[in-house]
Amino acid sequence: MSLQKNNISIEFFPPKTAEGAEKLRIVRNKLVTLQPKYFSVTFGAGGSTQQGTRDTVLEIQREGFEAAPHLSCVGSSPDSLRAILADYKAHGIRRLVALRGDLPSGYGASGATSGEFRYANELIAFIRAETGDWFHIEAAAYPEMHPQAKSPQQDLHSFVRKVHAGANAAITQYFYNADAYFRFVDAVRKEGVDVPVVAGIMPITNYSQLMRFSDMCGAEIPRWIRLKLASFGDDSESIKAFGVDVVTELCARLLDGGAPGLHFYSLNQSVPTLAICAGLNGRI
Ligand code: FAD
């Protein structure tokens, strides 16, 4: 199946230092060869990376590419979010990735400031109330269920609520089991929701980092992948080569099965994403 270009997007985190910002420019320069639809930039819950997110997004936009800031609501006040939205609107930003966010431990059990935003659907409704149709809004989706959800059904309904609140499209949490994605999309369609559900892709480059991330976000690493990665020990070249193989195959299966696009969690690196895309043989 051949798909048009531009069905990928690439995510960065805002660099903390001038050196990191310079490295990210070099990485971006390499990744633009993939002609991504847009680059997105994460946002630390409670506004902890607010300036870095803004600076990175506006820099990407000045370079002539579409940039989408992430925006999370937990721990943020309506006034602070209103100001951020007005600022992005004034700069001509048209796309947002809208999330609840995760506050670091120590912010209280609910994670939210009482009486304010508790869930992403409330943020999405707020963005629509404040800015109408100005922004194209991407929401998060969880084919393997969000770790705090009580059941897959409850999580599905939480997702549907975000679309009803005004999300135009979704990006999934990463996963390595294509069936989980296809089943999730089927379930979403049965709920009468027809927004594109773009598959979030995490390249595999480092075993311990992958296990740490996956424990936090609830993504399952299939046993055979874990065992194989563990067997490579400190041999990072073998880990990377195996990671490219596995993730390229996953991406091919997703695209061939109808996934409308891929969103790469690049971790501010170019090599893994470039290697995976090179193996997709004209699918992107
Ligand atoms: P929600 O949709 O609000 O869901 C959170 C949990 O609450 C789920 O378990 C859901 O089932 C449940 N829930 C939702 N509504 C209700 C309700 N009304 N009643 C009861 N339960 C409910 N985090 C960041 O801090 N910064 C980022 O930049 C960032 N970028 C991300 C990008 C993508 C593509 C993805 C997939 C995740 C990202 N995250 C980011 C992580 C995200 O913030 C966390 O996964 C967070 O825990 C949930 O965010 P959400 O928007 O999915 O929340």
279 is written with which tokens? 């193996």
Residue 109: its pLDDT value, please? 44
Nearest atom in ligand 1 to the alpha carbon of residue 99 is 51
Decide if domain 8-283 falls under CATH 3.20.20.220: yes
Q: How many angstroms separate the Cα of 168 from the Cα of each of 37, 136, 226?
A: 15, 6, 35
In this predicted structure, what is the pLDDT of residue 103?
A: 75
- Mean pLDDT to the nearest integer, 221-247: 97
Please give the distance, rounded to the nearest whole angstrom, from the Cα atom of residue 77 to the centre of ligand 1. Answer: 17
For the chain, the average pLDDT equals: 94
Verify whether ligand 1 is closer than 6 Å to residue 146 (CB atom). yes
Residue 104 to residue 227: CA distance in whole angstroms: 30
Residue 47: per-residue pLDDT: 81
Identify the helix (H) or strand (E) that includes residue 8: strand 8-12
3-state secondary structure of 264: strand
In this structure, are residues 15 and 258 in contact, taking their beta carbons and an 8 Å threshold?
A: no
| Ligand 1 pocket test target in 74, 99, 123, 126 with most atoms within 8 Å of CB | 99
Please say if the pLDDT value at position 254 is more than 70.
yes
For ligand 1, the distance from its centroid to the CA atom of residue 15, given in whole angstroms, is 23
3-class DSSP state of 127: helix
Catalytically annotated residue among 11, 116, 130, 220: 11
Average pLDDT over residues 6-19: 95
Ligand 1 centre distance from Cα of residue 76 (Å): 14
Q: Among 8-17, 105-114, 161-170, 273-282, whose mean pLDDT is lowest?
A: 105-114
Average pLDDT over residues 177-200: 98
Residue-range domain boundaries for the chain: 8-283
* Model confidence, pTM: 0.96
Tell me if residue 11 is catalytic: yes
d(CA 220, CA 58): 34
Tell me which residue of 90, 86, 65 sits closest to 6, measured CA to CA: 65
Provide mean pLDDT across the span 256-261. 97
In this prediction, what percent of the chain has a pLDDT beyond 90? 89
Ligand 1 geometric centre to CA of 140 (Å): 6
Q: Which amino acid is at 52?
A: G
The continuous run of DSSP H or E covering 78 comes out as: helix 78-90
Ligand 1 centroid distance, CA of 101 (Å): 6
Q: Which of 119, 145, 217 to mutate to test the pocket of ligand 1 (most atoms within 8 A of CB)?
A: 119
pLDDT digits (tens, 9 = 90+) for 83-138: 999 999 999 999 999 999 987 765 554 444 544 899 999 999 999 999 999 999 99
Q: Which atom of ligand 1 is nearest to the CA of 140?
A: 36
172 — pLDDT class (breaks 50, 70, 90): very high
Measured CA to CA, the distance from residue 58 to residue 165 in angstroms comes to 27
- State the pLDDT at residue 115: 44
Give yes or no for residue 173 CB within 6 A of ligand 1: yes
- Contact, 147 vs 155, CB < 8 A? no
Say which amino acid occupies 230: A
Specify the pLDDT at position 2.
Answer: 42
Does 101 sit in the ligand 1 pocket, CB within 6 Å? yes
The closest residue, in CA terms, to atom 42 on ligand 1 is: 101
Distance of CA 77 to CAs 73, 84, 106, 107, 126, Å?
8, 11, 18, 15, 11
